Amino acid sequence: MDGRHQVVVVGGGFGGLGVTKALARADVDVTIVDRTNHHLFQPLLYQVATGILSEGVIAPPLRSVIKKQANARTVLAEVTRFDLDARTVHGVSPDGRPLMRRYDTLVVAGGATHAYFGHDEWAAFAPGMKTLEDARGLRSRILSAFELAETIADREQRAAFLTFVVIGAGPTGVELVGQVAELAKRVLPQEFRWVDTGRETRVMLVEAAPVVLGPFDPKLQRYTQRRLEKMGVEVRVDTAATAMTDDSITVNGPAGQERIASRTKIWAAGVQASPLARALSEATGAPTDRAGRVAVQPDCTLPGHPEVFAIGDMVSLNGLPGVAQPALQEGKYVGKVIRARLRGDGTVAPFKYFDKGSMATIGHHAAVAHAFGMRFTGRVGYLMWGFIHVLYLIGWGNRIITLYSWLRSLTFTHHRGERIITVAQAHHELVSAATRRGPDELNRLLPKQA
């Protein structure tokens, strides 16, 4: 290691990559440490889970992203702790070897994970969607449910496999439930013989708040709910999940408590900060909020440690939401601060967020957008949503492939090519259901021969 200023960036998401690119021409060495080897475009992760996009389109390798930036490198490792006094980051490599890296400036952008509000056991029954592994797992669950339903002759018995419940009506929940509904009611009906997926599939959206898309304008909330219901989605607001099992969910709403038979439940109701936020809090004394986010100074630094920055979903700053735009803007800002300090200028103004608006897609040619002080719905909102998301994808090749996939899957043929599962995955679902109910259940679940 030479005498150049060393910047260690923990996390290769929107914030971490933003810092790295902002330092492309600075006299520093940048090391990105991440537990994955790719940059994930999370806003389109649900399209991997529902068979629209391939994972590589939204997750380019970090090494490919920074290959032209000579002062940047990336390390695949799990960060375990920080020694702020010694200015070192400690982690573990994939083969278990301990790793240590010294820094002059540390930027932590660890992101967030799922929050089950004190019911962590629900994670086994209702997985969330934050990583590629999550999306692949959900895709397997969703597709296996239809395949298994096709093996069950009795309509009442297969109802649980054809009931999909999404918990949480924020943008992720709305976008996901809309695509599950379109998959069941527009894509699959002509492909199955025993099961009428269009009529038998039940798709539900459960939200504890009184409205869907809570942070959005009331007009957009009402449009979204009407559109989802027109697509065949049962929207349950003022309804909270109270219990779950492998094959059911219990909810409590205006009509009282109800048990719903469902083999596929998806969690989109809450997030909590990366454990790295607590590690920084304990090291600096900075407080954390209910979601575990660590409070940072107006310049995104930690108290008493001006050389340590924290950004993105894991921080609490001016009440900003945990979405991509704050992380992107914070990353660019921190890069600007580091460059200024290298020049001897310590007078950079505090971070100021520019709200570019909010968007969410609902389904075929339907989306909502609140931007430039105006509200958009329907096809106009859909085109705006598509333009912005393609714009922020990395690489022209990925943008072109995404546009082609959208035209093919969502506009012309309604064909979804990313629907690969194996018999082992479907068999696991079937055997899992049988073993939970009794040794004779497997024979009952299989179709009766004529």
CA angle 301, 305, 308 (to 5 degrees): 50
**Beta partners for residue 61, in sequence order:** 38
| Residue 177 · residue 207 · CB < 8 Å | no
Number of neighbours of residue 132 by Cβ within 10 angstroms: 19
Among 55, 150, 175, 418, the one annotated catalytic: 175
Number of neighbours of residue 81 by Cβ within 10 angstroms: 12
Instruction: Mark whether 282 is an active-site residue.
Output: no
Residues noted as catalytic? 175
